[in-house]
Amino acid sequence: MSQFAHGIRYFDASSMSTDNVQLTPMATYVLGVHHSSAESLVQHLQSIIWLTYRRDFAQMVPYEFTSDAGWGCMLRTAQMMLCEALLRNLSIHRTTRFCWKDNETLAPEVVQVLRSFVDSPKEEDGCFYAIHRMVQVGMKYDMLPGEWYGPTTAAQVLRDLVNAQIDSNLCMYVPQDGVIYTDEINKLCVTKWVHEQPSTSNASVLYDPLLNPPKIDTSAPWNKSIFILIPLRLGLDQLNTTYIPALTQVFEFPQSLGIIGGKRGHSVYFVGARGHQFHILDPHTVHPTTEVDGSFPTATHARTIHSTDHLVMEVDYIDPSLAVGFYCRNRQDYNDLCTRLSVMAASTTCPITKRRYMPRITLDLLRKRSEHNEGIISTLEEISLHQEELEKIELIGTLCRKLRILYLQNNIIEKIEDLTHMKELRYLNLALNNIKRIEGLSNCEFLEKLDLTVNFIDVDALEDSIDHLKPFEHLKELYMLGNPAQSDWDGFTQYLKFHMNDEEKPGFITLEVFVPKYLDSSLINVDMHPTYVTITIKNKLLRLRFQEEVKCDQGTALRSKTTGALKLTVEKVDPKSIARALRAKASRQEQDNNKQTISELSKKPSLQTQVLGCAVQINRIVHRPEDRERQATHKVEAYSTRRLAQENSCEPPLLY
C-alpha cells in the first residue's frame, strides 16, 4: 500500500518562507531544536540516521527470511530512535554530525554506532542491534520472524539488548502505564548502594538483608545515562484528540528522542512537529545489506542511511498505540525533564506522569494489612493487597508461606512470580492486572480457585497457560472473562439461552437451559419454588417465573449427554389446567386433521364441477318428453349425488 494512503505526504518547505505572508507562522521543533528556516530544518532532518528495510542479509536460521520487508518497520523505527540516543550519548552535535565526503574524519565511536545496526548475525562483527538480534530477543515475547511488532514489544526488545551491554555507559528504562518512577531510574543509573543496618544492643538479633534491602544513595552522581522509552495507548481505535497538544509539546523538550508509531502495519519515526503535522522518517524503502569490513562505512552505505525525502504525517492519522522516547545524560537532565512534564500536565492532558517511588510489597505493608492477625505475617492465612498499584509480586512467597487466600486484584502486575513456597494457597485473585500468561504456580498444588478476569492473556499464550494448569487436581474454578483470548474460543458466548414450554407434556412445564457442554454439574444448583425457579450457574443467578403454579417438590432435572443442556420438568398444581390442556391438545389435533383432509381434496379434480355437470345432465333428461317416465329414477340419482357432496365437502353445491 502506498505511504500516501496513511496520511503521509511531502513537506512543503515554502510554508516556512518569510516571504509567504498568507500563512500564519507556526513553531517548528525537531528533537528539541527550534527551527525558523527551511534550510536549518532540512539540514537537521538529513542528519538523522535513517534505517530502512534491508534485503539479502544472512538467513535467520532456522527460518528462511533474508529480508524484513513488509514486517520489520516497527523494529527499524526503534533502531532509528536508539541510534539517535547512542549518538547523543557520544556528545555528537545534532545538526552537524557527519561529513561523508571525507569518511576518515569519522570518530571510531561513531563508526561503532553505525556498525552496531548492520544486519549481521556474527558476534565478531559487533552488530549488537542487528535485526537478527532483535528477532532473537523477540521470541522471548512470543514474536516470530515475519510478525509485525507493536510499540510495547519493540521497546522491551530494545531494553533487553541495551541493558545487556554491561560495558556501555547507557542504560534503558521502559515504564508501564505511562508512569516514570524515580527510584527505578536511580537503580539503573547509580551503582552506589547504602546498607542501613539498625543498631541494636541485642547481639542475638540477626540482620536480614531481605527485610532490609540496600537503599540507593540519591545524592550520588549518575554512573550511566539513560534512554527512557514509554509505551502508551492514547485511545481505543483512534487517537484521543485531547492528547495531541501534549504530543506536540514533547518535541520541544531538549531530552526528546521523538516518537515511534504511525499506523498499524505501517510504523514511522516521528522526529518533529509543526502544528498538526509531524515530521517523519519512513523505513518503507528496501536497501541492500552492507558488508562489515575494513572499508565500512562506504559511501554507498552512507547514501542509504540519510533520507532526502522530507515527509510529514497528519496527526489525525496516527494510531493510538505509540511510544515516546527521552534521553537524559545525568540527574540534572532528568530533573529538568520531570519539571517540564509537570508544567505540561498543568496546562494540558499529559499521558506521562512521574512518581518518586514505585509501590512495592514491603514488610511494613504486609504488617499493615495483617492487623487482623495481630501483625504476625508468618502465620497469616489471608491478606488483601488490592489497589496498591503494584507492578511486581515479591516477598509474599518467602514471608507468608501459610497463606490460603491472596487478593492482588486491581494492580498493574505483569507476571505471576515469587509464589514458590506457597503450597497452602487455595484462592488467588489477580483480576484487573496486566498478566499475559499463566505461570509460576507449579508449587501451589492445592490451588482451588484462580481469578484472572480482565487481563491480557491472548490466544497465543492460552495453550501454554492451560498446560501449566493441567497438573492442578484441586483446581475447580478459573475465571478469564475479559481477556483477549476469549473472543477466539470456539463456541464462546456472553449469554445462556433457555426455552420454556408447557405443551410438550400436558399438565407439566418443561424448561431447557443450554449450559456449556463441559461445565461440571457440581457448579449448577436448582432451587424450585411454586411460582418461579432459581438456577445458579457458577455463582451467577438465572431466575424465571412460571405462568402457572407448579408442584415445587416434584419434578426432574436432567442434563443431556450430547449437548450438556439442563432440562427441568415440573407438574402444574391446578388439575383443571390439565383438563384444559388435554382439550386444547385434542382440539388442535382435530384442526390439524381437518386441514390435512381439505388439502388432500384440493389436489383431486373439483368435486363441485363434477356435481354441477351431473345436475345439468339430469335436468336435460328430465325435461325430454320422451323420457318423462324415467323422471323419478333420475331424481333418485340426483338426490344420491347431493348426499355424496355433503359427505365430502363443507359447502356442497345446490341442485335444482
Q: Quote the CA–CA distance of 70 and 73 in Å, as a whole number.
A: 7
The least confident of 199-203, 320-324, 332-336 is 199-203
pLDDT, position 462: 85
> For 16, which DSSP code?
G
Which residue from 556, 564, 545 is spatially nearest to 505, judged by alpha carbons? 556
* Selection from 212-216, 260-264, 491-495 with the highest mean pLDDT: 260-264
Report pLDDT digits (tens) over 629-647: 555 555 555 555 555 555 5
Residue type, 545: R
Tally: H helices and E strands in the chain? 15, 28
C-alpha cell at 397: 512467597
Report pLDDT digits (tens) over 287-311: 999 988 877 888 888 889 888 888 9
Query: Is residue 209 predicted with pLDDT exceeding 80?
Result: no
Contacts by 138-146 with C-beta closer than 8 Å and gap 24+?
Answer: 142/460, 142/461, 144/63, 145/60, 145/63, 145/65, 145/71, 146/63, 146/65, 146/71
Assign residue 261 a region (left: φ > 0; alpha: ψ between -120 and 50; beta: otherwise): left
Domain covering 497-573: architecture: Sandwich (2.60)
pLDDT, position 105: 63
Give the CA-trace dihedral at 139, 141, 145, 149, to 10 degrees. -160
Share of the chain above pLDDT 90, in %: 36
Q: Quote the CA–CA distance of 168 and 170 in Å, as a whole number.
A: 5
pTM: 0.65
Report pLDDT digits (tens) over 545-576: 888 888 888 888 889 888 888 999 998 887 66
Assign residue 205 a region (left: φ > 0; alpha: ψ between -120 and 50; beta: otherwise): beta
Right CATH for 359-485 from 1.10.3720.10, 3.30.420.40, 3.40.190.10, 3.80.10.10: 3.80.10.10
Domain boundaries, the chain: 3-196+209-352, 359-485, 497-573, 576-604, 605-656
Q: Are 366 and 395 in contact (CB under 8 A)?
A: yes
* Confidence tier at 61 by pLDDT (50, 70, 90): confident
Mean pLDDT confidence for 609-622: 49
Report pLDDT digits (tens) over 180-201: 999 899 999 987 554 444 444 4
pLDDT, position 335: 94
Which residue from 24, 97, 13, 71 is spatially nearest to 310, judged by alpha carbons? 13
Strands 311-314 and 215-216: unpaired
For the chain, helix, strand, coil in percent to 5 are 35, 20, 45
Residue 419: exposed, middle, or buried by beta-carbon count in 10 A (0-12, 13-18, 19+)?
Answer: buried
Report pLDDT digits (tens) over 213-237: 556 666 678 899 999 999 999 987 8
| Residue 410, CA distances (Å) to 384, 388, 431, 454 in order | 11, 8, 6, 10
CA 174 to chain centre: 19
Report pLDDT digits (tens) over 356-388: 888 888 888 888 888 888 888 888 899 999 888
Beta bridge partners of 500: 511
CA atoms within 13 A on the CB side of 388: 23
Q: Quote the CA–CA distance of 300 and 298 in Å, as a whole number.
A: 5
Mean pLDDT confidence for 345-349: 90
Q: Are 172 and 159 in contact (CB under 8 A)?
A: yes
Which residue from 171, 150, 176 is spatially nearest to 353, judged by alpha carbons? 176
Which residue from 462, 428, 430 is spatially nearest to 447, judged by alpha carbons? 428
